[in-house]
Amino acid sequence: MVEAAERSISAEAQEPDRPYEVALRPARFDDFVGQEKIRSNLRVFVEAARRRGEPVDHVLLCGPPGLGKTTLALILAEERGVHLHMTSGPAIEHKGQLAALLTKLEPNDILFIDEIHRLTPAVEENLYTAVEDFRIDVVHGDGPYAQSLQLRLHPFTLVGATTRTGLLSNPMRSRFGYPARLEYYAPDELSKIVTRSAGLLGIEITPDASQEIAARSRGTPRIANRLLRRGRDFAEVLSNGALDLETARESLDRLDVDRAGLDDMDRKYMRVIIEHYDGGPVGIETLAAALSEPRDTLEDVYEPYLLQQGFIARTARGRTATRKAFSHLGKSAPSSQRDLF
Ligand code: ADP
C-alpha cells in the first residue's frame, strides 16, 4: 500500500517537491492568493511595525499542511526587510540550542518555528521569557560553580506554525499577539495559484484545465502545484505538451485522484465505515485497527478534508459516513443514516 506521505494528494512536502516549492513560493503579499483576512491583517502589522521601527508582533499560524504557513513567514520577513531563521519544534532539543538560535537574531528578525507544538516543556518555558522580555537565562559552568547568566536579546518576532492547535499549551498560545487559522482554499483561488505556477514553470495550460486541477486538489496549494507538475508529464507524453482539460482529466484519473479530490485511501476509509460498520458511528481506535493505520495518521492526514467536505462526521460515539459519502461511493444510505443527515 502507498504510504500516507507518498500519496499524490498528500499535503506534506515530498522530496521531489522541494526545488519547485522554492521556485513557486510567492515572496510578497501581492502574489499570495486567498486567506484574505489574514493577509490584510499581516500587511497592516508589518507596515505599523516598520513605521515604529519595531518587530512585528508574534504570530501563530495554524492549519493543515500545505496551506501556506511557511510561505507567510517568508513573506513577513521579506516585507519587513529582515532575515528569517527557520527551525522546527523537534529540532530544538535543549535549552542551549534555543539560546544559540536566539542570540544569532538581529534586531526585528523573524524566528520561524514549524511544528511548535512539539517543543519540549523545558525549551518551551525558556522561550516564554525570550518572547516576552527579549532575554534568556543561560547556565554557565557545571555543578557548584554553575552560574545563571541573563542574556539580553534583540527584539524579534516569533512566528509559530502548527497543524494541531489543540496540542499547543495554553501558556504558549497566549504568548502570540496574533493567532491566525488558515482555511482550505476555494477552487477559484486554487485555480489562480495553478495558473500562476504554470506561468512560472513555462507550462501551457488552458483555463478549464487549471480549474480541473484546482477542483481535485483538496483545497491545498501544495497539492495543486504537485498535480500540475504531474499533469505536465502526461501532457508532454500524451499530447503536444499543452495541458488541456482532456489531458488534465486523464492524468488525474490515472493518478487515482477522483472528481472530489479523493484517492483510493480516502475511499477505503469511507468504505470501511459504510461496509463494515453500517455507516457508523465507529470509534477511531476501531477504525485505526481496521485500516492498519495509526490513529494520528487518520486524524491528521485523512480526516480533516473528509470532515471539511462533509463526507464524514465526528459524533460523541465515533465517526459516521454521511449521505454524501454513500452517494460518492455509489451506495444507497440506510434509513437510519437518512434520518441523521
Ligand atoms: P505549509 O507551511 O503550510 O505546509 P507552505 O507555505 O510550505 O505550506 O506552502 C506549500 C507550497 O504551496 C509553497 O511552495 C507555495 O508555492 C504554495 N502556496 C501556499 N500557499 C500559497 C498561496 N496562498 N498562494 C500561492 N502559492 C501558495
DSSP per-residue string spanning 285-310: HHHHHHHT--HHHIIIIIHHHHHHTT
Predicted TM-score (pTM) of the model is 0.90
Radius of gyration of the chain (CA): 23
Question: Which tens digits make up the pLDDT trace of 138-179?
Answer: 877 778 888 888 899 999 999 999 988 788 999 999 999 999
- The preferred substitution site among 60, 194, 222 for testing ligand 1, maximizing ligand atoms within 8 Å of CB, is 222
Burial of 30 (0-12, 13-18, 19+ CB in 10 A): exposed
Nearest CA to ligand 1 atom 16: 25
**Whole-angstrom distance, CA of residue 116 vs CA of residue 295:** 21
With CA atoms as reference, report the closest residue to 151 among 133, 124, 176, 125: 133
The response to whether residue 24 sits with its C-beta less than 6 Å from ligand 1 reads yes
**Which atom number of ligand 1 is nearest to the Cα of residue 72?**
6
Given a cut of 50, the residues of the chain with pLDDT beneath it are: 1, 338-339
**Distance between CA atoms of 201 and 187, rounded to whole angstroms?**
21
Output the CA 115–ligand 1 centroid distance in Å.
16
Please give the positions annotated as active site. Answer: 69-70, 114, 163, 222
Find the angle CA(211)-CA(217)-CA(220) to the nearest 5 degrees: 115
Q: Is 71 in the pocket of ligand 1 (CB under 6 A)?
A: yes
Instruction: Please give the pLDDT value at position 5.
Output: 65
Pocket of ligand 1 contains residue 34 by CB under 6 Å: yes
Q: What is the pLDDT of residue 3?
A: 63
231 CB less than 6 Å from ligand 1?
A: no
Report whether the peptide linkage leading into residue 155 is cis, meaning its omega lies within 30 degrees of zero. Answer: no
Sign of CA dihedral 187, 189, 191, 197: negative
Q: Which residues contact 52 (CB under 8 A, 6 or more apart)?
A: none
- To test ligand 1's pocket by mutation, which of 17, 25, 194, 197 has the most ligand atoms within 8 angstroms of CB? 25
> How far does residue 33's CA lie from ligand 1's centre (Å)?
10
Cell of 150: 541573563
Residue of 9, 70, 71 with the most ligand 1 atoms within 8 Å of its CB, for mutation:
71
Task: Please state, in angstroms and rounded to a whole number, the distance separating the CA atoms of residues 166 and 177.
Answer: 18
Q: 312 with 306: CB under 8 angstroms?
A: yes
pLDDT of residue 204: 94
Q: What is the pLDDT of residues 30-46, one digit of tens each?
A: 999 999 999 999 999 99
